[in-house]
A and B are shown apart, each in its own frame.
Chain A
Amino acid sequence: MDTAYFLQQLINGVTLGSVYGLIAIGYTMVYGIIGMINFAHGDIFMVGAFIALISFILFALTSIALPIVLLLTLLIAMVFTACYGWTVEKLAYKPLRKSFRLAPLISALGMSIVLQNYVQAAQGARIKTLQPVIQGGFTFMEDTGFTVSLSYLQIFIILVTIVLMAVFTLLITKTALGRAQRACEQDRTMTALMGINVDRTISITFIIGSSLASVAGMMFVMYYGVIDFYIGFLAGIKAFTAAVLGGIGSIPGAMLGGLLIGLIEVFWSGYISIEYKDIAAFTVLVVVLIFYPTGFLGKPDIEKV
């Protein structure tokens, strides 16, 4: 019974962790390249979830096979949400690149309020329920009195996350774009002198980050089946915690942090208290920032005069 319960929590934790990890990549990439906390990223994730929801509803009217629907929804969500990420960067962050340090954060805060209320105005404030898209799954350890289930949906979420992670890690480490990005992280002026379009590189970073967040949004809406305009706030803070825990600026770190936050949250609600499950994530955030601000895979941040 105990092992079975533990195993079930583990499966749920890894699933949730995949979602957080995908959002955390967006935070970590943006922080790495322009050194700001993109506070509106959680709301980009929410927009992605809404676009995926709309796409699922529209495809439900047609008779296209399920794998194609999933693939198309994935692409649609990524493309449209990337537009949001790109526009937000152009409107709210790009003019502030040379401003004082807290200006982009405050602007991001404003953008987050705008996105939330815009979606509320356009789509209504009530929660949206989606019929399950992928049903069924495996069950095992039935004889112990507590059935452990691993649904096809959970397998799908974990697989897609692994595939996307692999693709984007290759993109960052092996391609010219990835080199340009890493160069911008180190020194933007030098990179510009080397003939790299810094503005474009930053835009692409936002596009990648938002499209990964939209995948997370699509999985969120499939996994929980209910969304509203406010989901981005909590998910955003938790994903940011994941990014910090893994070491901000590091992409494998973001994934690792996401997994850990997912597991901590699920085990906390499974074993300690479900009412205070959000406090778990916040406590981790506070503790990590105070005692271990570089995270697991991050570089130390030394302030120079």
Chain B
Amino acid sequence: MRKNFLVSSIKDSLFTGLIALALFGPIVGLRTVAKNEVLVVSPKWFIVLVIVIVCALGRFLTNLYIYNRDQKYGIQSTVGKSITKFLDTKGTQIALSAIIFSVIFPFLPFTDRYLMDIAIMMLTYIMLGWGLNIVIGLAGLLDLGYVAFYAVGAYSYALFAIHFGWSFWICLPIAGIFAAMFGVLLGFPVLRLRGDYLAIVTLAFGEMIRILLLNWYQLTKGPDGLTGIPRPSFFGLPFKSFPEEGEQTFHTFFGLEYSPMQRIIFLYYLILVLALITNLFTIKIRRLPIGRAWEALREDEIACKSLGVNPRNTKLTAFAIGAMFGGFAGSFFATRQAFISPESFTFIESAIIVAIVVLGGMGSQTGVVLATVFLIGLIEVFRDFESYRMIAFGGAMVLIMIFRPRGILATRKPTITLHKKEVIK
């Protein structure tokens, strides 16, 4: 018995090696390079050899030590459960300390320009993740074109600010309303579709918006992008080092020394407040009838219909509200960058936001934060290895689906229960 097992796992790992050779041989081993305008092949057999040996050995070892055991995947679920339990009992304290940490973060001694930039980026993704969480996590609609609303928000903010000179605080709600309108417009026809069809159609819409932005040159300046988007001001006080005659700026008004960090710290608090508003809104709306209808719809659409919930209107509100927060985040992005182009709104952005929501555990607000810190951190750490980091990123999506298909924080508690809280499986 034991010997047979050994023989079969050796056979199995040899087979794995063979498959690995077939997979990596041509693509990795025979790299095509252009030489004098003609493609030639430069062999890289050593790397292939290493990969094949690693695959075969890995397969052999997993055969011996993991698949041999009675309990598969035991470790992952216990780790996940203990995290979930920990967050359940200490949830409020952790959330509070996280908020306090993010409030004092700009004034910590080790905080520099680079860390602030990353923090602002992470908060933008957290806000987008919370916005999309309404659509995916609460209403259960897989939206692969969320970046379209981000783009609509950014472009409408930029166009209003450039052409009419309106301030950030006027343009922000307008951008949100525009994005929500787009959400309704795009959502109206497609919401009858089933989950996976809906995903593909939203993806198509996302791409259509991008192609439109790329080609509608009169309005969007196409691939050149929009430049000179006004920077935000502190309630009318601009951040400038050299104020014009008689102009009050932020540092003269408060009698401070000018420093470029002031604007960055202001941007940081701006996105922090916007993100927290998104979170607060979601937490509150979950308890309202509409929020409960979303969650019920996610669990069983037919049951909802029979209880008199209008699925179309309910889904449409989720779509519109999610889109609105996307639009807010978009206008923040535009004002921070001062330059936007269709390059920033590709499908991969949508995929990243979806990955954040899914990885965090659909419907979990804390999960979104953890997933953002993890994924954006991963992307930042491997900054110099452009395609390798995306391989790791895609691989993480696959692995999470396999081992924890409900995300890091996997349990979903009903927001409101009659007697005692039960976990939905």
Report A's interface with B, CB cutoff 8 A.
36-37, 47, 50-51, 53-55, 57-58, 79-80, 83-84, 86-87, 91-92, 95-96, 99-107, 109-114, 116-126, 128-131, 233, 237, 240, 244, 275-276, 278-279, 282-283, 285-286, 289-290, 293, 301, 303, 305
15 further A-B contacts with Cβ under 8 Å, apart from A107-B398, A118-B391, A282-B208, are A47-B27, A54-B32, A57-B40, A100-B405, A102-B195, A105-B196, A109-B144, A113-B391, A117-B391, A121-B391, A237-B203, A237-B207, A275-B215, A279-B211, A279-B212
B399 to chain A, nearest CB (A): 8
Contact (Cβ within 8 A) A37 B200: yes
Q: How far is the CB of A210 from chain B (nearest CB, A)?
A: 12
How far does the Cβ of A305 sit from chain B's closest Cβ, in whole Å? 6
> Which chain A residue lies CB-closest to B389?
A117
Instruction: Say which residue of A117, A131, A289 sits within 8 Å of B193 (CB atoms).
Output: A289
Q: Mostly helix, strand, loop or mixed at chain A's interface?
A: helix
A62 to chain B, nearest CB (A): 13
Determine whether B121 belongs to the interface, using a CB cutoff of 8 Å to chain A.
no
Quick check: A131 and B196 within 8 Å, CB to CB? no
Which B residue's beta carbon lies closest to that of A229?
A: B387
B38 within 8 A of A: yes
Least CB distance from A54 to B in Å reads 5
**B41 adjacent to A58 (CB under 8 Å):** yes
Q: Does B33 reach chain A (CB closer than 8 Å)? A: yes
Q: B interface, how many residues as a size bin? A: 35 or more
Name the contact of B201 in the complex, choosing from A86, A118, A289 (C-beta under 8 A).
Answer: A289
Minimum C-beta distance from B343 to chain A (A): 14
Cβ distance A29 to chain B, nearest Cβ, rounded Å: 16
B395 at the interface (CB under 8 A from A): yes
Distance from A13 Cβ to chain B, minimum over Cβ atoms (Å): 21
B118-140 residues with Cβ-Cβ distance < 8 A to A are none
- Contact in complex: A114, B398 (CB < 8 Å): yes
* Highest count of chain A CB atoms <10 Å: which of B27, B31, B348, B396: B27
Cβ A286 vs Cβ B201 within 8 A: yes
Given contacts A102-B195, A286-B190, A290-B192, contact A120 B387 (CB under 8 A): yes
Closest 6 A/B residue pairs (Cβ) = A110-B397, A113-B394, A114-B394, A117-B390, A107-B401, A121-B387
Known: A58-B30, A131-B38, A285-B201. A36 touches B394 (CB 8 A): no
Interface check B204, CB cutoff 8 A = yes
Nearest-neighbour CB distance to chain B for A245, whole angstroms, equals 13
B337 to chain A, nearest CB (A): 24
B207 touches A276 (CB 8 A): no
Q: Which residue from chain B places its CB closest to the CB of A98 in the assembled complex?
A: B405
B359-385 CB mask vs A (1 if < 8 Å, else 0) is 000000000000000000000000000
Given contacts A110-B397, A113-B390, A123-B27, whether A130 and B39 have CB atoms under 8 Å apart is: yes
CB pair A54 B26 closer than 8 Å: yes
Q: List chain A residues, Cβ under 8 A from B190.
A: 286, 289-290
Q: Is B31 within 8 A of A123, CB to CB? A: yes
The 8 Å CB contact of A80, one of B22, B212, B347, B348, is B22
The answer to whether A122 and B28 have CB atoms under 8 Å apart is yes
Alpha-carbon distance A117/B31, docked complex (angstroms): 15
Which residue of chain B has its CB nearest to the CB of A47?
B27
Which residues of chain A come closer than 8 Å to B26, judged between CB atoms? 50-51, 54-55, 80
B212 → chain A closest CB, angstroms: 8
A109 with B211: in contact, given A58-B30, A233-B347, A240-B200 (CB under 8 Å)?
no
